[in-house]
Amino acid sequence: MAFDQRVAVVTGGGQGIGAATVLDFLEQGARVAVLDLDCAPLRRQLDALPRDAAARCLCVAGDCTDAGVVATFFDSAEAELGPVDILFNNVGQSARERGGLFTESDEAVWRFVIEVSLLTTLRASRRVAPGMKARGFGRIVNMSTDAAFAGDVGLADYAAAKMGVVGFTRSLARELAPHGVTVNAVCPGAIRTRAHDKLRPEVLEKIVADTPAGFVGAPEDVAATVRFLASDEARFITGQTLLVDGGRWML
C-alpha cells in the first residue's frame, strides 16, 4: 500500500471531509492521528473497518485552537505512531449561524473564525515542519475554500482567514521546498457534510446551478485530492492551490 510507511495527522478528522481523508489514508496503509473536539463519529466509522486498519488510527479528543492541547497531542501521536510525514490541516469553519453581512458583524466572531480556520493551520505546521525539514520529507496540505476566491457574500471573515491559508501555503512552500517538504492548499466548493445538510433547499439549488458539474461533491472527492498531494508522486507540486469544486471557480 502506498502509504504503509507513513504517519499522517488530520486535524478535525472526526467527521466530514477530515474523516473521509482519515479513512482514505488508513486504506492506503498509513498510521493516522486525529485531533477533534468529538471522536465519536469517527469511532463509529472505524468500527466498520477491518481490525488491523482501525488499530492504525489514534483519535484524541481536544480543541485545535488550544496551543497546549495541540502540543500534547503531537507529543503523544509521535510517541505512539512515529514522526509525522503528512499533515492535513483540515480543521476550520465559517461563523455558520453567527455569520452574516460584514456591516453587521462583530469582532468576537471574526476572531473565532480566524483562530479556527487560520491559526490552527500555522500552529500545527509550526509543530511538524522542523522535523519534516530535518528528515528531508514531508507533505503539508492546508484546507482553504473556493468561497474565498468567489468572494461569497456573508463570509467576509471566513474568506479572509481562508485566503490567509493560501498566502501561508505559498510562503511556507518556498521555505520548505529545498528540504523535500511540499505545502499545498485544497479549496473545496460545495461538499455534502453536516453544515450542508442544514441549508435551505433554495440555497442548495442555487449552489448546484452555479456549479458547472451540476452536483454537490462528496467528502471523498476532497480526500482523493489530499491523498494525491500527500503522495510521493506529487513531489514536484508545491505552493499550489487546487480547487475541488466542480468548476465553480477556475484559476
Ligand X SMILES: NC(=O)c1ccc[n+]([C@@H]2O[C@H](COP(=O)([O-])OP(=O)(O)OC[C@H]3O[C@@H](n4cnc5c(N)ncnc54)[C@H](O)[C@@H]3O)[C@@H](O)[C@H]2O)c1
Instruction: Single out the residue of 220, 243, 223 nearest to residue 8, CA to CA.
Output: 223
37 contributes a contact to ligand X by CB under 6 A: yes
246 contributes a contact to ligand X by CB under 6 A: no
Across the beta sheet with 86-89, the strand order is: 57-61, 31-36, 7-11, 86-89, 138-143, 181-188, 241-244
Residue where the block lists cell 484524541: 60
Instruction: Choose the binding region for ligand X from 8-16, 103-111, 174-182, 230-238 (rule: CB under 6 A).
Output: 8-16
85 or 221: CB nearest ligand X: 221
Min. distance of Cβ 64 from ligand X in angstroms?
A: 4
113 or 137: CB nearest ligand X: 113
What residues between 138 and 157 interact with ligand X by CB under 6 A? 143, 145
Min. distance of Cβ 42 from ligand X in angstroms?
A: 8
Under 8 Å between Cβ of 158 and 95: yes
What residues between 177 and 206 interact with ligand X by CB under 6 A? 188, 190-191, 193-196
User: DSSP assignment, residue 151?
Assistant: T
Contacts (Cβ under 8 Å, ≥6 apart) of 45:
19, 23
Contacts (Cβ under 8 Å, ≥6 apart) of 52:
none
92 contributes a contact to ligand X by CB under 6 A: yes
Q: DSSP alpha helices (H): ranges in 143-218?
A: 146-150, 156-176, 194-197, 201-209
Name which position in 7, 8, 16, 21 contacts ligand X (CB under 6 A).
16
Name which position in 27, 63, 78, 210 contacts ligand X (CB under 6 A).
63
84 contributes a contact to ligand X by CB under 6 A: no
Please give the residue ranges that form the binding site for ligand X (CB under 6 A): 12, 14-18, 35-38, 63-65, 90-93, 116-117, 143, 145, 188, 190-191, 193-196
